[in-house]
Amino acid sequence: MSKKDVSEKERLCISCQKCCKEIFVYTHPVLYSCSAETIVDFYKARGFDVSRLEEDAIILSFKHTCPHLTPQGCDVYENRPKACADYSGIEDFGDDCLWSTLKLKKS
Ligand code: SF4
Ligand code: SF4
């Protein structure tokens, strides 16, 4: 890939890499046979960051560096999963997603 083929989002993601180092998982008490409070306590005790959303949805987040991430960046970048190319970190990282600054500038 030549430099001019790199989109603005790709350029920002390459310099940010948050999505390659942290995982967010959405879950909901309806999937469990215990209360939301019990679920939150369960995951907090295991070192997850836990947030509650409206209607009892729960977000679990934990640090996990993708095994494909090297000091030079993604070692499968040309063939990275489509989810990696399409993923918007804005929903999970908010203003900490560099791409969000670009989107804000354009809106
Ligand atoms: S947080 Fe945003 S800028 Fe950073 S890697 Fe994820 S999508 Fe890209
Ligand atoms: S495959 Fe590449 S782009 Fe996807 S999470 Fe891993 S290092 Fe990041």
Residue at 11 is within a domain: no
Residue at 57 is within a domain: yes
The contacts of residue 46 (CB under 8 Å, 6+ apart) are none
Residue at 28 is within a domain: yes
Residue at 93 is within a domain: yes
Q: Which run of H or of E encompasses 32?
A: none
Protein residue with its CA nearest to atom 2 in ligand 1 = 97
How many structural domains does the chain have? Answer: 1
Q: Which pair of tokens denotes residue 25?
A: 């998982």
pLDDT at residue 2, as a whole number: 47
Residue at 95 is within a domain: yes
Ligand nearest to the CA of 84: 2
Ligand nearest to the CA of 15: 1
CA–CA distance, 74 with 70 (Å, rounded to integer): 6
Q: Which pair of tokens denotes residue 64?
A: 């996990």
Residue at 40 is within a domain: yes
Q: Find out whether the beta carbon of 13 lies less than 6 Å from any atom of ligand 2.
A: no
For 35-57, write each residue's pLDDT tens digit.
999 999 999 999 999 999 888 89
Pocket test for ligand 1, best of 15, 68, 99, 101 (most atoms within 8 A of CB): 99
Give the predicted TM-score (pTM) of the model: 0.80
